[in-house]
């Protein structure tokens, strides 16, 4: 029991230490205020990534680590360009706010452009680095939390002013580069005010503050042309039911989402609202545990037509599922909206946010995406971070390249499976007994128990066919 409690404490500490460091990036030596006297210029006199040119496709035989071997953006697969299947996006918080800190060590990453402050000028410098990075990487989208890109102020008015100033720069950089926001969101879990939750907080004033913060984040996402808006309920859950009114908290969460939908319509935002399921960490139990739980919540409160799901592969495994399972659950419910392309370490029981490099998993992911007809206006967001020991600027590129190449190989393999048709035919044959008149009656809800009992007496003992699982696995492996 002591060991289990210690592990949980370590996991929660790991998350809190990481994210606090990620959003502050370094010891705060300059106040995040408009009149701060330090770091008063966002000018950077050189390239942020000198010596790295635009990443190009060079094919599988290339030995150049700064090139794509499998991701060929303009190549057409199953009637759609590769870049349109993926709609890759860079996550601002991990790529530009991650420091490599862990519960046992200080930050290991000190990018050349950082000045040790959390000032507005530093925020603008990071934004310029972000656009140079996505331009050279060759992706079309980026994602952000409000407090990742602009420093928190002493009041909500000051926080909003800080955000407006950085967003104005981002808007201009987007115009110049023709890049877009895949999704934006509000960070409702780091600040101490959200220790009991945001929309599910027991404090009315915190609920109201969260509403005001989401209102602003939604407005700036709309201004930046964002195609989606994500809700991740990191604190929307409980540590103990002994001091929690779960029903009231769930009702409050639903009212919060209803108000968000109303404001979305009021400002004319046509993007998709997304909920990102996660089972635990930082809370013991989060109310959006997995895709099925989130779908049930949306149905209960009449929100099923207003939201889709952002499935994160690492969150899927933490909930006891595979990423493929979560994608299929979302897909068959008409809720697959976006994918956070990452993975976890099976030997580490927490959210490690690693780049996905498992080609088999990537292939299964892409089978779901193909069956879904794509995921636009969603995409694949790299909600991933460099390992603590990877500290070179070029590692940012190498990590994203291998992630993109892995997904490209998954797409190519999935396309082979679709075009070959053997796997689909195996599945069809397994259920072919339902492709009969009586099977159609059952699936149409027109076969009652009396009718089925009569048929059982007529047929006798059923003959049960093999599932051919090993053959299915062989077909799958042959596509690798």
Buried b (16+ CB within 10 A) or exposed e, 303-330: bbebbbbbbbbbbbbbbebebbbbbbbb
Helices (H) and strands (E) in the chain, counts: 17, 16
Cα 211 from Cα 196, distance rounded (Å): 15
Ramachandran assignment for 211, one of left (phi > 0), alpha (psi -120 to 50 degrees), beta (any other): alpha
User: How far apart are the C-alpha atoms of 111 and 49, rounded to whole Å?
Assistant: 10
Which 3 state secondary structure label does DSSP give 98?
coil
Q: How many CB atoms lie within 10 A of CB 342?
A: 25
Query: Could you tell me where the beta strands, DSSP code E, fall in 335-426?
Result: 336-340, 342-343, 354-355, 380-382
Query: How do beta strands 76-77 and 80-81 pair?
Result: antiparallel
CA distance 337 to 231: 13
| Annotated catalytic residue, options 71, 94, 145, 196 | 145
The residues facing 144 across adjacent strands are: 184
Count other Cβ atoms within 10 Å, centred on residue 379.
27
The reply to whether 285 belongs to the active site is no
* Residue 80, Cβ density class (10 Å: 0-12 exposed, 13-18 middle, ≥19 buried): middle
Q: Which helix (H) or strand (E) holds 166?
A: helix 156-177
DSSP state of 241: G
Residue 21 structure tokens: 């460091």
The secondary element (H helix, E strand) that includes residue 246 is helix 246-267
Which residues belong to the active site?
145
């Amino acid at each position: 029991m002591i060991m289990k409690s210690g592990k949980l404490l370590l996991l929660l500490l790991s998350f809190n230490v990481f994210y606090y460091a990620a959003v502050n990036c370094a010891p705060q030596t300059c106040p995040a205020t408009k009149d701060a006297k330090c770091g008063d210029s966002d000018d950077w006199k050189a390239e942020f990534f000198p010596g790295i040119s635009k990443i190009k496709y060079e094919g599988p035989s290339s030995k150049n680590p700064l090139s794509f071997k499998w991701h060929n953006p303009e190549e057409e697969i199953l009637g759609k360009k590769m870049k349109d299947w993926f709609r890759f996006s860079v996550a601002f918080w991990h790529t530009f706010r991650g420091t490599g800190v862990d519960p046992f060590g200080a930050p290991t990453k000190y990018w050349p452009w950082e000045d040790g402050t959390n000032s507005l000028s530093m925020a603008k410098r990071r934004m310029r680095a972000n656009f140079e990075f996505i331009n050279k990487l060759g992706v079309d989208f980026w994602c952000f939390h409000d407090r990742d890109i602009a420093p928190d102020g002493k009041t909500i008015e000051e926080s909003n002013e800080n955000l407006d100033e950085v967003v104005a720069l981002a808007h201009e950089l987007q115009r110049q580069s023709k890049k877009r926001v895949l999704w934006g969101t509000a960070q409702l879990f780091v600040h101490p005010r959200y220790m009991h939750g945001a929309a599910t907080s027991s404090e009315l004033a915190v609920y109201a503050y969260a509403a005001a913060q989401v209102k602003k984040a939604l407005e700036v996402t709309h201004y930046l042309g964002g195609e989606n808006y994500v809700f991740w309920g990191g604190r929307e859950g409980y540590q103990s039911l002994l001091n929690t009114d779960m029903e009231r908290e769930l009702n409050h969460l639903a009212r919060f989402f209803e108000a968000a939908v109303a404001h979305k319509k009021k400002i004319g935002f046509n993007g998709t609202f997304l909920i990102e399921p996660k089972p635990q960490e930082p809370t013991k139990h989060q109310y959006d545990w997995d895709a099925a739980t989130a779908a049930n919540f949306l149905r209960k409160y009449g929100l099923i037509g207003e939201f889709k799901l952002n499935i994160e592969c690492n969150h899927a495994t933490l909930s006891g599922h595979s990423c493929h399972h979560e994608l299929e659950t979302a897909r068959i419910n008409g809720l697959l909206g976006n994918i956070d392309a990452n993975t976890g370490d099976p030997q580490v029981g927490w959210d490690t946010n690693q780049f996905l490099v498992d080609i088999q998993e990537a292939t299964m992911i892409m089978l779901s995406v193909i069956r879904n007809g794509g995921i636009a206006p969603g995409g694949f967001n790299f909600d991933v971070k460099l390992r603590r020991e990877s500290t070179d600027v070029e590692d940012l590129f190498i990590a994203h390249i291998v992630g993109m190449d892995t997904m490209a190989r998954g797409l190519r393999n999935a396309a082979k499976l679709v075009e070959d048709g053997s796997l689909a035919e195996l599945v069809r044959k397994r259920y072919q007994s339902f492709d009969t008149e009586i099977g159609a009656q059952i699936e149409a809800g027109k076969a009652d128990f009396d009718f089925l009992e009569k048929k059982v007496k007529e047929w006798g003992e059923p003959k049960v066919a093999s599932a051919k699982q090993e053959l299915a696995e062989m077909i799958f492996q042959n596509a690798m």
